[in-house]
Amino acid sequence: MQGKDFYDSVLQFYDQAARFSKLDPGILQQIKACNSIYKVNFPVEIDGKVQVVEGIRVQHSHHKLPSKGGIRYSIHVDEDEVKALATLMTFKCALVDVPFGGAKGGVKINPRTSSVETLERVTRRYASELIKKNLIGPGMDVPAPDYGTGSREMAWIADTYLTFKYGDTSALGCVTGKPVGQGGIRGRTEATGLGVLFGLRELFADADLLKHLGLSSGLAGKRIIVQGLGNVGYYAAHYCQLGGALITGIAEREGGIYHPDGLDVAAVLQHRTDSGSILDYPGAKNVADSAGLLEYECEVLLPAALENQIHEGNAARIQAKVIAEGANGPVTRAAEKILLERGLVILPDLYLNAGGVTVSYFEWLKNLSNVRFGRMGKRAEEASLQRLVTTIEQSTGKSISAQERALIVHGMDEIDLVRSGLEDTMIVAYHEIRSVMNQVKGIQDLRTAAFYSAIEKVGVSYQSLGIFP
């Protein structure tokens, strides 16, 4: 039932925001509905035996093309879960002005217990099934990594697509999240986690919300409990720690650890790599029930694992003042009602974890243009800055150190441009959300405001297509 509960929550969030829209009811119904659902069962030889594997691809919205969304590998994948994730992707892209429709994919397989050979066979066969139906491509639908997948799987998909579409110079744009050497972009790996930092930074500079919460400005000294030490959770915690926050708790499937003075996130990850578990990290308290760790006292609770982690059963016991949704759908609709009544602030998933799709958009642009960002301008920019510094030194008679000079004259390369674009995207989107809360009577929480902003943008797209009046 978990996938159905997740999808129901997403639709309830949508309905809550749609109540405030003046768009035609027909447009609102079209925006809400999934445009297409494709399910396929294919045989794969695993350990000498043929097994049937189920794959799903949902394209929620075609108001803009291509549609965009990750591929999840999990034995628990079901149609409702994928529909929920695809629906969120539509509004996530619209909110942060990434010109994609929403999509999502899933394959029923356990990536932790499957061999690399099995994963490659399944990935390539799943990709082949989608390609044969013209369901993926740089102008149609562009997958990306999600839970259980990464750059390796995306490289396999790209290679399979190139086999079918030999000679297509834009073919690498069929998928994002690839290794840098195979058409990927620098900064994509940490993009979602870094976006979480930018989002939290904006909230902790928002005087009105901080006054409501009784918190001081800035991340420094704020206690954060993180659920999930995967890609999103690790990088979000890492960058928040660099920003001065204290990561006091980390929850994972094997249990949790807690230290009131803060944990070294990089050291915890290394400990888990060495021992296979975050438990027994030196100096930290083990928490056998990792779900219970979510109820510990902190300023920010950062769920970055799976959906439905904060629900009607535990919402009343959450002691955090801010819930930052690094994962998709970690808070159910029933739980949100309880949390908002208690005065908590929720930074919603369709905003906070949009860093991944934002940088995926940059990667897609790079693949279509077939040029590395910064390649043509970096040296010219550095030469110009060098001349400027030299002129200032000559006119003032003062010189600067070699270290200062290197910092000043550094030209923007790919990762600088990517991070700059990501930061700007998260800042602009946050203030758009807050503007909705200030201007639309009745909207009092960040999620409803974010959905409303996204709905209005998607509605404009449908109107511009001439489909609706």
Q: Are residues 304 and 332 in the same domain?
A: yes
Read off the pLDDT band of 466 (50, 70, 90). Answer: low
Residues 229-249 pLDDT 10s:
999 999 999 999 999 999 999
Question: Do residues 23 and 14 make contact, with C-beta atoms less than 8 angstroms apart?
Answer: no
- Domain encompassing residue 251: 191-352
Name the burial class of residue 41, with classes exposed (0-12), middle (13-18) and buried (19+) by CB atoms within 10 angstroms of its CB: exposed
Q: What is the mean pLDDT of residues 440-456?
A: 96
Would you place residue 345 in the very low, low, confident or very high pLDDT band (cuts 50, 70, 90)?
Answer: very high
Confirm whether 305 is domain-assigned. Answer: yes
Q: What is the pLDDT of residue 271?
A: 96
Q: Residues 232, 340: one domain?
A: yes
Please give the Cα distance from 67 to 139 (Å, whole number): 8
Q: What is the 3-state secondary structure (H, E, C) of the chain?
A: CHHHHHHHHHHHHHHHHHCCCCCCHHHHHHHHCCCEEEEEEEEEEECCEEEEEEEEEEECCCCCCCEEEEEEECCCCCHHHHHHHHHHHHHHHHHCCCCCEEEEEEECCCCCCCCHHHHHHHHHHHHHHHHHCCCCECCCEEEEECCCCCHHHHHHHHHHHHHHCCCCCCHHHHCCCCCHHHCCCCCCCCHHHHHHHHHHHHHCCCHHHHHHHCCCCCCCCCEEEEECCCHHHHHHHHHHHHCCCEEEEEEECCEEEECCCCCCHHHHHHHHHHHCCCCCCCCCEEECCHHHHCCCCCCEEEECCCCCCECCCCHHHCCCCEEECCCCCCECHHHHHHHHHCCCEEECHHHHCCHHHHHHHHHHHHHHHCCCCCCCCHHHHHHHHHHHHHHHHHHHCCCCCHHHHHHHHCCCCHHHHHHHHHHHHHHHHHHHHHHHHHHCCCCCCHHHHHHHHHHHHHHHHHHHCCCCC
Section 92-108 average pLDDT: 97
Q: Are residues 171 and 280 in the same domain?
A: no
What's the pLDDT at 50? 93
Instruction: Give CA–CA dist 166/356, Å, rounded.
Output: 28
- Does residue 67 lie within any of the structural domains? yes
Q: Using CA atoms, how far apart are residues 161 and 155, in angstroms rounded to an integer?
A: 10
For residue 61 the two structure tokens come to: 């919205």
What's the mean per-residue pLDDT of the chain?
94
How many other β-carbons are positioned within 10 Å of the β-carbon of residue 312? 13
Considering 336, 352, 368, which residue would you say is the last residue of a domain? 352
Question: Do residues 131 and 8 both lie within one domain?
Answer: yes
Instruction: Express as a percent the part of the chain with pLDDT over 90.
Output: 85
Same domain, 211 and 298: yes
Same domain assignment for residues 208 and 322: yes
What local confidence, expressed as pLDDT, does residue 306 receive? 82
Q: How many CB atoms lie within 10 A of CB 438?
A: 11
Average pLDDT value for residue range 422-450: 97
Rounded to whole angstroms, what are the CA distances from 167 to 51, 79, 136, 137, 370? 34, 34, 17, 14, 14
Cβ atoms of 38 and 56 within 8 Å: the answer is yes
pLDDT at 382 over 90: no
Q: Are residues 14 and 151 in the same domain?
A: yes
Query: Do 160 and 239 belong to one domain?
Result: no
**CATH number for 87:** 3.40.50.10860
Q: Which two tokens stand for residue 257?
A: 């650890």
Residue 384 lies in a domain: no
- Tell me the average pLDDT across 430-452: 96
pLDDT tens figures, 146-198 = 989 999 999 999 999 999 999 899 999 999 999 999 999 999 999 999 999 99
The pair of structure tokens assigned to 64 is 């803009």
CA angle 224, 228, 233 (to 5 degrees): 65
315-342 pLDDT, tens digit each: 999 999 999 999 999 999 999 999 999 9
Q: How far apart are CA 264 and CA 249, in angstroms?
A: 10
Instruction: With cut-offs at 50, 70 and 90, classify the pLDDT of residue 469.
Output: very low
Is 79 within the bounds of a domain? yes
Render pLDDT for 251-266 as a digit per residue (tens, 0 to 9).
Answer: 999 999 999 999 999 9
User: In this structure, is residue 318 part of a structural domain?
Assistant: yes
> At which of 352, 376, 399 does a domain end?
352
Structure tokens at 396: 């003032």
Residues 223 and 84 in one domain: no
Domain boundary among 182, 213, 240: 182
**CA angle, residues 63, 349, 7, in degrees to nearest 5:** 70
Percent residues over pLDDT 70 in the chain:
98
Residues 110 and 39 occupy one common structural domain = yes
CA dist 406 and 461 (Å) reads 45
What CATH number did the domain enclosing 296 receive? 3.40.50.720
Do 166 and 252 lie in one domain? The reply is no
Please report which confidence band the pLDDT of residue 374 belongs to, taking 50, 70 and 90 as the band edges: confident
Q: Is residue 170 part of a domain?
A: yes
Task: Indicate whether 143 and 195 sit together in one domain.
Answer: no
Whether 247 maps to a domain, the answer reads yes
pLDDT of res. 29 = 94
pLDDT tens figures, 202-212: 999 999 999 99
Which residue, among 469, 203, 430, 435, has the nearest Cα to 323 in the 3D structure? 203
Say if 167 falls within a structural domain: yes
Whether 425 shows a pLDDT value over 90: the answer reads yes
What is the tally of structural domains in the chain?
2
- Give the residue numbers annotated as catalytic, written as ranges: 104
d(CA 75, CA 171): 30
Q: Tokens standing for 56?
A: 């799903």
Q: In DSSP terms, which residues pair with 323 in a beta bridge?
A: 301, 346
Q: Which amino acid would we find at residue 357?
A: V
**Cβ–Cβ contacts within 10 Å for residue 80, how many?**
17
pLDDT at residue 464, rounded to an integer: 66
Q: What are phi and psi of 182, to 5 degrees?
A: -125, 35
Neighbours of 387 (CB within 10 A): 11
φ, ψ at 337 (rounded to 5°): -60, -45
Q: Give the pLDDT mean for 254-281.
A: 95
The predicted structure's pLDDT at residue 465: 61
User: For the residues 23-34, what does the mean pLDDT come to?
Assistant: 94
